[in-house]
Amino acid sequence: MAATRREPQVTVHNFSAGPAILPRAVMQQAQEEFLDWHGLGISIAEMSHRSPAFTAVAEQSVRDLTALLAIPENYRVLFLQGGASHVMSMAPLNLCGKTRGGTGDCADYVITGHWSQRAMTEAERLTRVNIAASAAEVNFTTIPPLTDWRFSARPAYLYYCDNETIAGVEFPAPPVLPDTCGETALVCDMTSNFLSRPLPVERYGLIFAGAQKNMAPAGLTVALVREDLLDRARADVPFLYHFKLLAEHDSMFNTPPVFSWYLAGLTFAWMRTQGGVEAMDARARRRSGKLYEFIDGHEFYRNPVAKPYRSRMNVPFMLADAGLDRAFLAAAEDNGLLGLKGHRSVGGMRASMYNGLPEASVDALLEFMADFAASHG
């Protein structure tokens, strides 16, 4: 006999760092369309990626994303299989081949946390790497000032992570490269803050983001590649890692992650109805601003990140007594507050607040944190 499903006794608030909360309206639409997509009698999850129906979905998703970010015409939008970690390999393979007037075989990296560190470690296997700056000595609680960055001579690209999900550190604006960098392309991992604020795409050579934060389920990565960089690849780049080949086939050289792509398209369309990335930024600032103000005003909690670089998406925080961590997390789950455990490398707590998170969830968290501090402080 099938088990009886018990209805939840409390409202659930999802603060998971990823896979993360998606807009409820998007999930409801996907549910309604799942078994019979637009009267075709089949699910989009079992539809040919080369069918006219899915081709229309794919093309609309590109149009919506282009409108959201005002993507210039000289960029190609790629929907890639796998996660952002794949692009950590793709960047040196595609950009450290042929360049005009540059060395071509060296890349500069700015290390501000776990994910930029991982990207640099992978790049070292594939090309020469120069660490232009690192915040490791201060436990990734800030971003080194640009005046302290040390660039190599005409690197193929400068790589940085716009928002470090674990450390809770976010760049307030894109870095400005010095004239001595020549044709250096600015490369950025925006996995955990993509589509959360306006973006000057024209400043970048490559932007990429895993879908599982602000777009869709895991298994899909979106990349924006400036067209002049498509001819820089090494001769030995594997074909599924080759930006130019994937662009020439409109991201369908082989079967793409159809369902994740479809959900990303629904999310892009939803965002446009909500006011676009400008509205997402305003919501993110309100959510994170409330939480930071509360933390700063209570001795029971603290956030270690320098204020100018605090993330709008991921807020790590510690209790005054780490011995209460387990009690905090258990009580939080009892109150429907899920996904608050900090990353194992940092400890403490972390509240991730992506585009799909309602502001009411933050209000519920603040109420719980106040009550917990009052009873345990």
* Tokens read off for 34: 């799942």
Residue type, position 170, single letter: E
Question: Nearest to residue 277, comparing CAs of 214, 353, 359?
Answer: 214
Catalytic sites, residue numbers: 115, 189, 213
What residues have CB less than 8 Å from 4, skipping those under 6 apart?
A: none
Pick the closest to residue 284 from 214, 349, 355 (CA basis). 355
**Residue appearing with tokens 């479809």:** 262
